Amino acid sequence: MRIFRLPGKLGVIAGKLKLKGKRVGLVPTMGALHDGHLSLMRAARRECDCLIVSIFVNPAQFGAGEDFKKYPRKLTKDLALCRKAKVDIVFLPESRDIYPEGFCSFVEVKGLGSLLCGATRPGHFRGVATIVLKLFNITRADIAYFGQKDAQQAVIISRMVKDFDLPVKLRIMPIARDQDGLALSSRNAYLGKEDRRQALVLSRALGLGRFLFEHGLTDAKKILLRMRQLITKQKKAAVDYIAIIDAETLKPVKKVSRGCLVALAVKFGKTRLIDNIII
């Protein structure tokens, strides 16, 4: 496993791989790796000749008062997991190399980036789209792997790829969950014992939404009300949003049909968690 810190040096290697006809797979991460990330790596390892994992806590996607400085950083463990997953290259850039002095260009996917999570995290998806585009360019990836847990991010990146005719295929992989149903997230490390216990209501609420639809209820407002009632029974739960939306436009629907996305964001204490299902 090789480690690169400078974008230029990795770019040279990536160019040589392309000349040799190698298929390059990219798994972009912010570190604090867990089984969800590893599931992406396994998929990439099966499909690609060269697997690149980036580990970069991207300051551009954190807003004022968010957890950039406290975001978990576990590099020694992360590298050990990458070796176990047979990663070929780990990209470990510094902020100054990704955003050098004078950097002033950003990617903004209008409309999609201001909904849902974007409504309470202004600028977040601008930062996400910018770093992902840079990673695509640096690594020359043929296929990039993302998790369905970050459903809005996946929709935004898909739109960016389409709009800019980027020569990369996206694989959006299923949500990885603990045995108790909690979606895996690096931020789960913030949860205290009671917060984590109460957070299990998220997967139960999503399951309730699916159950209601499968038993004939298609009125989105009524489904959302039942889900909200279940979540707010937990004393520490503070709902940011619960939405039933079109899986491509992210616009709310009045009548639920198969293929709709049910997404939510809820805080437990200071920890904000997201989760979703596709009906």
- Structure confidence at residue 188 (pLDDT): 96
pLDDT tens readout for residues 73-130: 999 999 999 999 999 999 999 999 999 999 999 999 999 999 999 999 999 999 999 9
- Give domain status of residue 21, yes or no: yes
Residue keyed to tokens 């909200």 = 228
Q: Is residue 241 scored above 90 in pLDDT?
A: yes
Domain total in the chain: 2
Average pLDDT, rounded, for the chain: 97
- Structure confidence at residue 187 (pLDDT): 95
Residues 195 and 168 in one domain: no
- Give domain status of residue 180, yes or no: no
Residues 82 and 113 in one domain: yes
- Structure confidence at residue 190 (pLDDT): 94
Residues 32 and 133 in one domain: yes
Q: Output the CA–CA distances (angstroms, integers) from residue 186 to 25, 52, 67, 241, in the order listed.
A: 22, 20, 12, 20
pLDDT tens readout for residues 156-187: 999 999 999 999 999 999 999 999 999 999 99
For residues 5-27, average pLDDT: 97
Sign of CA dihedral 151, 157, 163, 167: negative
Residues 205 and 78 in one domain: no
Per-residue tokens: 216: 């004939």
State the Cα–Cα distance between residues 232 and 238, nearest whole angstrom.
7
The residue from 143, 173, 203 where one domain ends is: 173
DSSP structural state of residue 67:
S
- Give domain status of residue 178, yes or no: no
> Beta partners for 171?
145
Residues 32 and 169 in one domain: yes
Q: Is residue 262 scored above 90 in pLDDT?
A: yes
Half-sphere exposure of 81 (CA within 13 A, CB side): 21
Beta carbons within 8 Å of 7's beta carbon, 6+ residues apart: 93, 97, 98, 134, 138
Q: Output the CA–CA distances (angstroms, integers) from residue 182 to 66, 79, 157, 168, in the order listed.
A: 22, 25, 25, 31
State the Cα–Cα distance between residues 84 and 38, nearest whole angstrom.
10
Q: What is the CATH number of the domain that holds 234?
A: 3.30.1300.10
- Give domain status of residue 179, yes or no: no
Residues spanned by the domain of 153: 2-173
34 counts as catalytic: no
- Structure confidence at residue 272 (pLDDT): 97
Q: Residues of the chain with pLDDT > 90: what percent?
A: 99
Residue keyed to tokens 């970069």 = 56
Q: 153 falls in which pLDDT band (50, 70, 90)?
A: very high
- Structure confidence at residue 65 (pLDDT): 86
